[in-house]
Structure 1
Amino acid sequence: MLQNWFIPELDALSIRQDVWLQQDGAPPHYALSVREFLNDSFPDRWIGRGSPVSPAPLKWPARSPDLTTCDNSLWGYIKKIIQSRRYQNNEELKDAVRAAFATTTPTVLRKMSHRTWRRIILCYENEGAHTDTLD
Structure 2
Amino acid sequence: MQIQCLSKVTVWCGMTPCQVIGPFLLEETMNGERCLNMLENRVWPALSTFDNIENMIFMQDRAPPHFTSNVRQWLDNRFPGRWLGLRGPHEWPARSPDLTPGDFFLWGWANDDVYRSEPRTLDDLEVRIQQGLTNVPQHLLQKFVADIPRRLQNW
Q: TM-score range by the shorter chain?
A: 0.5 to 0.7
Q: TM-score, normalising length from structure 1?
A: 0.66
Q: How does 1:43-82 map to 2 (within 5 A)?
A: 43-51=80-88, 53=89, 59-82=91-114
Instruction: Report the alpha carbon displacement of residue 99 of structure 1 after superposing the two structures with TM.
Output: 0.7
Q: CA RMSD in A?
A: 2.9
Per the alignment, residue 85 of structure 1 pairs with 117
Q: Which of 1 and 2 has higher RCO (CA within 8 Å, sep 6+)?
A: 2
Amino acid of the structure 1 residue aligned with 2:78: S
CA distance in 2, matches of 1:99, 1:7: 22
Q: Pick from 84, 89, 105: which aligns with 2:137?
A: 105
Q: CA deviation at 1:97?
A: 1.0
The alpha-carbon distance between structure 1 residues 119 and 65, as it changes in their structure 2 partners (threshold 3 A), is farther
SS in 1 for 2:48: helix
Tell me the TM-score normalised to structure 2 length: 0.59
Can you give the 5+ residue segments of structure 2 that lack an aligned partner in the other structure?
Answer: 1-23, 25-38
1:70–1:36 distance in 2 versus 1, CA, 3 Å = same
What CA deviation, in whole Å up to 9, does each residue of 1:12-56 have, x standing for no partner?
1222211121222321212233222212221232222222x15xx
User: Computing the radius of gyration over CA atoms, which structure comes out larger, 1 or 2?
Assistant: 1
Q: What amino acid maps onto 2:151 in structure 1?
A: I
SS, match of residue 12 in structure 1: coil
Alignment partner, residue 133 of structure 1: none
d(CA) in 2 for partners of 1:77, 1:42: 28
Partner AA of 1:12 in structure 2: T
Contact 2:60 2:84 in 1 (8 A): yes
Point out where structure 1 has 5 or more consecutive residues left out of the alignment. 129-135
Name the residue aligned to 1:26. Answer: 63
Amino acid corresponding to residue 57 of structure 2 in structure 1: W
Distance 2:57 2:143 in 1: 23
- SS of match in other structure, 1:92: helix
Q: Could you say which residue in structure 2 is the equivalent of 1:41?
A: 78
Please state which structure has a larger fraction of its residues in strand. Answer: 2
Asked whether the 8 Å contact 1:67–1:119 carries over to 2, the reply is no
